[in-house]
Structure 1
Amino acid sequence: MVPGYREVRELGVGGGGRVVLATYAPTGAYVAIKYLNATLRDDHRFLARFRAEARVMVELQDPNVVQLYEYYEDVLEAAIVMELVDGVALRRILSEHGSTSPEAALTVLKGSLLGLAFAHAAGVVHRDYKPENVLIQADGGSKLADFGIAAHVGEAGMTAGTPAYMAPRAVGGGPGERGDRRLRGHVRVLRVPHRAQALPGRPPPRADAPPPARGDPGGGGAQLGTRARHAGHGQEPGGPAAERAGVPGGAGGGGTGGVRA
């Protein structure tokens, strides 16, 4: 456990590690702590990627991006202490409630899109903008999360991202804003409504697949904000104003893919 915090319960677990709900002892404020899998902790490539994720989060001080509070590492554990968002992933809402309208989708995606724009202005490419990484808050707003495979523009490294959401030109190339723009177009609704996940509630078509016939993308959109509020109701509120610990330097960037919990 990260010193100074008390674990409350597990929020999620996966191949990359686990995420727990915890409280900051001095204030009792709630936070989320992401622990790197113990096996991956011993792999210098994954540990370097985990450190890189924390360094990127330090650079992105924006209300539309999930905030880093502290990075912790010892001989046994590596952990990222971050803001606890009162809400759920857009993926869960789509899975449970189906499609939405362009108006509702744009409303709830606004925050995450502003966060993406802020990252681009700072020279950071997210590379994995998708419904799983858009957190819809109880008030219907959204935040951008998970910078596990983010990179700086022009940074050398292997291709990374979720294949179904990647731009064709991003495959085999270095990180650039063009890939994020295509991911953004798949999730939001502006120029390509037939491809926007928030409309039909399913992944975008492959790059080599013809677009589906245009038609009614599905109703129920006006209720998306209400769905988010109900889905997030009762979750513990945000995190502490804890001082940020230093993140070890010298860790390489890409090449290992994302570290997920």
Structure 2
Amino acid sequence: MGDNLVHALRGVDLDIDAGSSIAIMGTSGSGKSTMMNIMGCLDQPTKGTYKINGKNVSGMSKSELANIRGRMIGFVFQSFNLLSRTSALENVEMPLLYQGVSSRDRHKRAMAALAAVGLQDREDHHSSQLSGGQQQRVAIARALVGDAPIIMADEPTGALDTRTSYEVMGILQGLVAKGKTLIIVTHEADIAAYASRVITLRDGLIVEDRQQTPIDAAAALAKVTAEREVADLALAEKNKRAEKAS
């Protein structure tokens, strides 16, 4: 406020390997949102440089940054950010529309992206007709449709239950297996556990940078599904015995 200068990031020096998964952690005010905005070419650093594939994007014009975002970066947000009055297919097509892709190619690529997240049979559904997990999968398909090499996910499971979170993180981990670079921004250690590298920010500084073996979301999903099936069978058996007793 006034003449006070706030340094959201201070002396951050970071390299991220292509095809890796990284979680950027920190509490409110740590600088993680500022870092995400700079890495996503939504904002420019006031000092220093930021390079993507060796190209310095610092100092680029707004139109140049928009071009970089359209070609290089796919975004996934906690709130989904879907257009409520359009179908899942049309939501996924939207980035391609801005790029001037033909209607036929938009449809083909959007359907392929929906198929990649298991929603090829929901292309005509609007947001109100989809569950939270399905809406997030549409958002992931939208991030994928331009074949961007970098996926930035801001609290991607924050609005989802445990089982659906496993499904979403399994999809994101599958993208890393296919060579995409995944950057997760979160304040939750449980979410950071899905990445192979964790960067922790505090007061605009990197206070920790560590490697780890990420949780396998697909394996976790299989486990919780099996446990639920066992519980459902036990409940059904209990109800059957109660009916016989009555």
- Please give the TM-score of this superposition, normalised by the length of structure 2: 0.27
- Please give the TM-score of this superposition, normalised by the length of structure 1: 0.26
From the two aligned structures, give the one with the greater helix fraction. 2
Q: Which protein has the larger Cα radius of gyration, Structure 1 or Structure 2?
A: 2
